[in-house]
Structures are given as structure tokens and as C-alpha cells.
Amino acid sequence: ESVPLPLHFVGAGHSPVALHRTGYGKDDLFLGIKAGEAKVAHGHMDAGSFVIDRGGHRWASDLGLQGYHSLEQRGIALFDMAQEGRRWSVFRLNNFTHNTLTYNGGLHRVDGKAVIVSSNGAPENETRLDMAAPLGLPEGATATRDFKMDGSGVTLSDSIAGLRPGDGITWHMITHAEVEEREGGYDLGLGGKRMTLALSSPQKATMKAAHADPPTSDFDQPNPGMTRIFLEVVAGEDGKIEIDAVFRAVD
């Protein structure tokens, strides 16, 4: 007798993950979420990052690693995991190129660990992360990242409190899709399929998209066809920032 494959999984360990899927068909949705910290073996500053698959395509992507030899021959000490180590200047290793958040334009804290607070399969299909530690927020500040998946998309809600007025949070992701700006977000196209991404915040926010090529430095590996999407949000007098990102399958 065949056993149904699971639609939800949580893995603990040094780099905890939560996985959700609507099924195993080509047009089903898959959501992968990563917690943890950068200061682990071969770690990236990718706490809070996620990937979304649908229709045989990856809509929210991860660039993956760059071959170590190409960097070490340029004098980059890749195993210097210190906060100011040159490892974190590599385009594919820092938080600026992962599908996560950045506080005041700074690097994630290498020893700041994002924690999976809760994760439930159907019918909720929800995962919550505590993101305060990797972001390096002011003492006492809080940050949660909530994911919810349904049959046609994924909703991602970030809630940050305890910031100083004028502090900034940048929401960012990278995608291989064709990106076209629309009111309040973007249309994404891949292989004849389409999804929409709606970005919103009650705070002052600026939305933009930029090619990931050429990368930051001449030692970085090229990223042809990749686009980075940003929402830059500024905290008001109450020190709060709320960000909603809604991915929806169109066809």
C-alpha cells in the first residue's frame, strides 16, 4: 500500500528549515523557508530567506554558492566568519542578495539566529520566524516574519517594532522571472506562466527593481537574467514597520 507523501516538513539543526507544498503536481506550489544563522560551516547571511516554486519554475530564487577557488585566488579569506570578514563582501554570501530583510543597510549579525517559532501544515499552512537576532535591531526591538500558503499563492508578512524613528528596513528578493512593474507591485513571467507580487506597507515605502548583473565586485560571479526586487520602508514616530508581500498565481 502506498503512503502519501508529506506536504509539510520542519527540520531542526544548525540551519532549521520549514517546507510547505500544495501537492506534487506540476502546477502545485512549493514554499521553502530557512532560519538559522550565518556563522555555521559554509553559511550565508540568508536567515529568513525563502524560495517559491510553481509550474516547474522557481519564482523566488536563491543564487547559491560561488566556487571557492575563484574567490580564494583573489585573496578572500572565505573561512574568516568574523562580522567584518571579507567573506561577507561576496555578492552571493551576504544578506543583500537573499530573500530576506536588511536593517539600516547593514549586514546580518553573523551570530544572530533566526528561530522557527511555529510551523503548521494544512489547513493552516503557516510558519512564523523570529528575525530580531540576525537583523541586529536596537535592544528590545522585535521582528517576526510570517508565511501563509494557500492554493493559489503565498502571503508573507513582516512586523518590526521597537525601532528608532527614521530607521529603515529593506525587503528584498531575487528572481529569474521577467519582471514588469505594476501598480503596487510587479508582474512576474516564467516559461509562459505568470504570477503577481503585491508589495505594501502603511509606512513610507519606496519600491524598485534592478538587474543583478553586473554584481558588486569584479571577483563576484555573474548572475545573468536575475533581477532584484526591493521595498525600502522607513519607521515613523512609533518605531514600527509592517510589510506585506502577496504572491499570486495568474496562469
pLDDT of the chain, 251 residues: tens digit per residue = 788 899 999 999 889 999 999 999 989 999 999 999 999 999 999 999 999 999 999 999 999 999 999 999 999 999 999 999 999 999 999 999 999 999 999 999 999 999 999 999 999 999 999 999 999 999 999 999 999 999 899 999 999 999 999 999 999 999 999 999 999 999 999 999 999 999 999 999 999 999 999 998 999 999 999 999 999 999 999 999 999 999 999 98
Strands (E) located in the chain: 8-11, 17-21, 29-34, 50-54, 57-60, 101-103, 115-120, 126-130, 142-150, 153-161, 168-175, 178-182, 185-190, 193-200, 204-211, 227-234, 241-249
Q: What is the pLDDT of residue 3?
A: 84
pLDDT at 109: 98
Residues β-bridged to residue 30 = 21, 53
pLDDT given at position 88: 97
For residues 201 and 244, is the Cβ–Cβ distance under 8 A? Answer: yes
The whole-number pLDDT of residue 191 equals 92
Q: What is the pLDDT of residue 116?
A: 98
Contacts of residue 117, defined as CB under 8 A and 6 or more positions apart, other chains included, come to 128, 129, 130, 144
Q: Which H or E element spans position 132? A: helix 132-135
Q: What is the pLDDT of residue 112?
A: 97
Burial label for 199, CB within 10 Å (0-12, 13-18, 19+), is buried
Distances (CA, A) of 149 to 30, 117, 127, 240: 9, 17, 9, 25
pTM: 0.96
For residues 137 and 161, the answer to whether their CB atoms sit within 8 Å is no
What is d(CA 129, CA 117) in angstroms, rounded to the nearest whole number?
Answer: 5
- Give the pLDDT score at 173: 98
Beta bridge partner(s), residue 114 = 36
Spatial neighbors of 120 by CB under 8 A, at least 6 apart, are 8, 126, 127
In Å, how far are 2, 24, 217 from 20, measured between CA atoms?
Answer: 21, 11, 35
Give the integer Cα–Cα distance in Å for 250 and 187.
9
Distance, in Å, from the CA atom of 81 to the CA atom of 91, rounded to the nearest integer, reads: 15
Matching residue, cell 506585506: 244
> How does pLDDT run across 28-59, given as a tens digit for each residue?
999 999 999 999 999 999 999 999 999 999 99
Q: Which residues pair with 57 in a beta bridge?
A: 54
How far apart CA 46 and CA 36 sit, in angstroms, is 8
